[in-house]
Structure 1
């Protein structure tokens, strides 16, 4: 006999659906603004940020994929597109011949350097500046708690790796 699910209360449903709508609409707005302001997609920007945070601007593709939480096919497709635009380059990985190093090019570093100030302005405009410092602390605490819970669960397998 199946047990009755513990349906969300009106309050819980409002919080859950509100967070989904907020995330979806905020992401769409920031993505649109980013593309208009810099010509970079949100995915391109995200990859450039990760690479630019490494001292030498390079990292193994597998570690990049893991850090971005992307499927192998998504990373490969985006890397091809970004390589064609001159934003990144691939080099052989001296530590692992089976994988490539993804390297930020001077053009890629310039793109992220130019895009970041406008993107941060938009993040402030559409998110940060709408909250008090106390509310920001609450959002941070909630995010940290959910992320810590999710980190304790088994890793989600990439279907491409099976």
Structure 2
């Protein structure tokens, strides 16, 4: 049997292929359900066997050899796939880290511009804005703290928003 393979007998090889192809595919289904991988592994195994028929040393039965060969090729395929996936995951993580850093940088830049614009507000307007939006104090309490009316607090907030919008728009145009 081994001699027919070693001699390159195409009839023997075709019989071997037709007798074992489906059996080997069914065997590999116990390790993976991906039929494409299974067919590729079995095909590659037979191609390897034919290409290396003069060098192959079969110390067990042909049956045992074929099952062991497809199993080993499938495991090699899994290892290569895992290695490739690890590399892709590494690239993905690096890319995400860079995107997150850019986003942080952009946010820090925006916050910096907003702080610069807040600093440009008139003193009383800045005090009201700071107490209302940064400290979270209610308008009624701000009015009491600064000895102004609630309407004046609201007017300062409106003025702050208008000035901040204008300041931030002018900052964007400088970029």
| TM-score normalised by structure 2 residue count | 0.35
| TM-score normalised by structure 1 residue count | 0.37
| Structure with the largest fraction of strand | 1
